[in-house]
Amino acid sequence: MVDAKRTLEDSTDLMRRSFVERFGGSPRIYRAPGRVNLIGEHTDYNDGFVMPAAIGFHTRIAIAPRSDRKLVVYSENYSDQVEFDLDHLPAKCAGHWSDYVVGVVKMLVHAGKELRGAHLLVDGNVPQGAGLSSSASIEVAVGYALLDLANPAIEGESLDRTKLALLCQRAENEFVGARCGIMDQFVSSHGERGKALLLDCRSLKYRQLPLPDGVALAVCNTMVKHSIAQGEYNQRRAECEAGVRGLSKHLPNARALRDVTPEALEAYGEELPDVVRRRCRHVIGENARVLQAASALEIGDLAAFGKLMRESHRSLRDDFEVSCAELDLMVELAEQVEGVYGTRMTGGGFGGCTITLVRADCVEAFQQTVRQGYERGTGCRPEIYVCSAADGVGRVA
Ligand code: GLA
């Protein structure tokens, strides 16, 4: 974690100095954020709707060109350096931090981008294994930095952020081997300060929804690392796909659970195995909740928004079964605090964090109550991050 007292200028300066000591030259510095999802969980890979926000935790890349075709990448977090030749990139992932870098480079090359050799210094403060998308933030930061460096004539603003997000998702799906949806990379690319992003994961159309003043996004880390998540995640995806196959007898046009209404599930769901039917019920209900939550936000009805968050959590716990005792406890504790509009687990599940919308003037009492209750209940001290919605990827210096 970065010391909160360090201002952005100070830390950018430190990073530049650290780069120059290691590599010389004069680097450009880029930054891509992690995210928290307000509502719309496990809907992205079902062609559905999500509403994440980028947050203040990020990965930064300092980068300067080399005259050859080598990429030399140093991680401040791992105190480790790797080297690659742009013309002979590794064929397989190695279970190493640099997989995310190599994956993105490979996808950029595959997409026909002309890259140049470079020195890169990587430094991130997104808590890892906490479900706040540290991987998307490194992917998007690396992709953006390399593209911007390769095309100095095009200033960053004209870079296609949606294409970048898709390339980064592909790196994770095809190179790293995690079958994630598009949500994390998309909001890391497109996030806007003070706004939640409502995304249609089929058309990739999105709207920025202003978050009202006076509301904090409190992110509570259970400190349970979601390490079993990948196998379970892929299994949930497979169950959703099985649901679509089962229902397509009656709904030949259904390509994804996005195309199934609650009424259709009611009518034909009986034929599905119980587990599959419950997975479908979560996704179909969650899609509807995201759209209702967007309407509630647009008219400033935070009570309605909060109710939808609570319903989302129950559905993730009971039907989708991706919560865990620690997440449930964190939610129960938060629900009892004054000024809380709504609270739920966020991200893939099986550990990681909850997200709570809480009145800004109640946030201190909230932290104290939740911290004490959680520590009493689990013997473990949680971390609580009070966040606000941040900008997506960009150049900082
Ligand atoms: C992870 C994935 C996302 C999304 C969420 C669950 O964060 O990376 O694509 O599927 O889980 O909503």
Mean pLDDT of 46-69: 98
Ligand 1 atom nearest to 172, measured from its CA: 8
Residue 4 pLDDT level (bands cut at 50, 70, 90):
very low
Q: In the prediction, which pLDDT does 2 show?
A: 45
Q: How far is CA 75 from CA 61, 72, 213, in A?
A: 9, 10, 37
Is the pLDDT score of 64 beyond 60? yes
| Three-class SS state of 1 | coil
Cα angle: 328, vertex 329, 333; to 5 degrees: 120
Residue 184 annotated to the active site: yes
Q: 215-387 domain in CATH 3.30.70.890?
A: yes
Burial class (CB in 10 A: 0-12, 13-18, 19+), 25: middle
Q: In the prediction, which pLDDT does 157 show?
A: 53
| CA–centroid distance, residue 201 to ligand 1 (Å) | 12
Is the pLDDT score of 127 beyond 60? yes
In a mutational test of the pocket of ligand 1, which residue from 173, 180, 258 has the highest number of ligand atoms less than 8 Å from its CB? 180
Cα dihedral: 183, 187, 188, 191 (round 10): -170
Between CA 99 and CA 102 the distance in angstroms is 5
Name which of 204, 189, 259 is nearest 31 in CA terms. 189
- Give, using CA atoms, the residue closest to atom 5 of ligand 1: 348
Per the structure block, which two tokens stand in for 270? 């009986």
Give per-residue pLDDT as tens, 224-265.
997 656 789 999 999 999 999 999 999 999 999 999 999 999
* CA of residue 215 relative to chain centroid, distance: 21
| CA–centroid distance, residue 122 to ligand 1 (Å) | 23
Q: In the prediction, which pLDDT does 3 show?
A: 47
Between CA 173 and CA 7 the distance in angstroms is 35
Is the pLDDT score of 197 beyond 70? yes
**Amino acid at residue number 29:** I
Which residues lie closer than 8 Å to 89 by C-beta, 6 or more apart? 102, 105, 106, 109
Q: In the prediction, which pLDDT does 152 show?
A: 67
Q: In the prediction, which pLDDT does 6 show?
A: 57
Give per-residue pLDDT as tens, 128-165.
999 999 999 999 999 999 999 998 665 555 689 999 99
Domain boundaries, the chain: 4-210, 215-387
Name which of 202, 56, 196 is nearest 132 in CA terms. 56
Q: Give the ranges where 52-133 is alpha helix by DSSP (H).
A: 99-110
Is the pLDDT score of 5 beyond 70? no
Ligand 1 atom nearest to 50, measured from its CA: 12
* 152 vs 306 pLDDT, higher one: 306
Q: Which fold has domain 4-210?
A: Ribosomal Protein S5; domain 2 (3.30.230)
Give per-residue pLDDT as tens, 324-351.
999 999 999 999 999 999 999 999 999 9
Compute the mean pLDDT over every residue in the chain, rounded to the nearest whole number. 95
Q: In the prediction, which pLDDT does 220 show?
A: 98
Query: Which one of the listed residues 47, 184, 259, 319 is annotated catalytic?
Result: 184
Q: In the prediction, which pLDDT does 153 show?
A: 61
| CA–centroid distance, residue 348 to ligand 1 (Å) | 5
Is the pLDDT score of 288 beyond 60? yes
Mean pLDDT of 285-306: 98
Residue 7 pLDDT level (bands cut at 50, 70, 90):
confident
CA atoms 282, 286, 289, 293: torsion sign: positive
Please say whether the beta carbons of 151 and 113 come within 8 A: no
Question: Assign residue 335 a region: left if phi > 0, alpha if psi is -120 to 50, beta otherwise?
Answer: alpha
Q: In the prediction, which pLDDT does 10 show?
A: 84
Packing angle, helices 161-170 and 183-190, rounded to 10: 150
3-state helix, strand, coil in the chain (%, to 5): 45, 20, 35
| CA–centroid distance, residue 82 to ligand 1 (Å) | 28
Is the pLDDT score of 175 beyond 50? yes
Mean pLDDT of 74-103: 97
Between CA 119 and CA 110 the distance in angstroms is 21
Q: In the prediction, which pLDDT does 168 show?
A: 98
